[in-house]
Amino acid sequence: MIPLKTIEDLIGKHALLEKELSSGSIDKKTFAEKSKEYSDINEIIINAKKYISYENNKLELKKILDDTSSDEELRKMAENELNELDIENEKNEKKLKLFLLPKDEADKKNAIIEIRAGTGGLEASLFAADLFKMYEKVSHKKKWSVELISISRSEAGGLKEVIASIKGNNIYSTLKYESGVHRVQRVPDTETQGRVHTSAATVAVLPEVEEVDLKINESDLRVDVFRAGGPGGQSVNTTDSAVRITHIPTGLSVSQQDEKSQHKNKAKGMKILRARLYELERTRIDQERSQDRKSKIGTGDRSERIRTYNFPQGRVTDHRINLTLHKLEEFLEGEVFDEVIESLTLQAQEESLSNLS
């Protein structure tokens, strides 16, 4: 049961924000912040008020039921109303508990997605390319923008590695469950005997971090410049434009050579390094909080097999929630992607609620 004081404070906060926003005496930045807070609380305020009034309403109905002078029809109506009231209160309590769960401050951030071919050789690189195309299609449907940071192609036309920045609304909260090992089962184009091969690719989704979110001391960085390798043409292989940035305290290192400009490569490298350092710190804090408790969802463990894409049977299976959809093509087109994400989000919320009790 949620303490009534907690709900009363929430209702009081809503009323105070309403008064402040209508006063016309706050600056634009504060107004935007308070408007967002007000909007968030406004979604749950009806449930909060009903939760507060539940005990009084229940008491009134019980009085009718306990009154021996009440006629049978009135008692029956009161009994039905009490049952409906109890059911509604359970729903309100669950919604309020979800609302009051600690918020992940990264949920509203943009994301950096890193996809790498895993076991399976050239077939794994083709699968990595398929995954990236899927995320591009999902982004297009949601009107998110995708900006390539670096890309490394394989001989077969697949991707050895691709790193991209995805910008829009609530990116990280949607994509954070994609981190892990994605496995594919299909007959490769090069397979003459029709045998199904199993390959894999790893996906890492990191919240994109601004400088104000994470301050990195220049003295903690070692920056090395070198000549870019691989196909380049023109000046890309003739100047020291490639950059390797190493964060000395953690040993994390990022190399960037896609741009001809050393300055641009360093900026892109810092974006990736900042995201990885932020995620490293988040993981450390989460481990301290949970200690021996480890949720199977949202751990961000890149070694964990999370999903299988089976082409012969046309199915996609998410192993964390035992969900199988026989809609593989639609999933890869981004059509039913939200169906899986919503199930994962719901399961994660249920786990969080059970951890509170």
What's the pLDDT band for 192 if we cut at 50, 70, 90? low
Q: Residue 132 and residue 159: Cα distance in Å, rounded? A: 9
What is the Cα–Cα distance from 286 to 280, expressed in whole angstroms? 10
Q: Which residue has the higher pLDDT, 129 or 263?
A: 129
Backbone angles phi, psi at 166, to 5 degrees: -115, 125
Closest CA relative to residue 176, chosen from 344, 353, 352 = 344
* pTM summary value: 0.70
Q: Is the pLDDT of residue 303 over 80?
A: no
Q: Where in the chain is the domain with CATH 3.30.160.20?
A: 218-288
Label residue 349 exposed, middle or buried (CB < 10 Å: 0-12, 13-18, 19+): middle
What is the mean predicted confidence (pLDDT) over 308-330? 96
For residue 167, list its beta bridge partners.
145
> What gap in Å lies between CA 286 and CA 34, rounded to an integer?
28
**pLDDT tens-digit series, residues 218-253:** 888 898 888 776 544 344 455 678 899 999 999 999
Six-digit token pair at 127?
A: 């699968």
CA gap 246, 254 in Å, rounded: 6
Q: Which CATH architecture has domain 218-288?
A: 2-Layer Sandwich (3.30)
Q: Distance between CA 330 and CA 338 in Å, rounded? A: 11
Task: Average the pLDDT over 174-184 and give the result.
Answer: 94
Asked if residue 17 has pLDDT above 70, the reply is: yes
Q: Three-class SS of residue 106?
A: coil
- What mean pLDDT, rounded, does the chain reach? 86
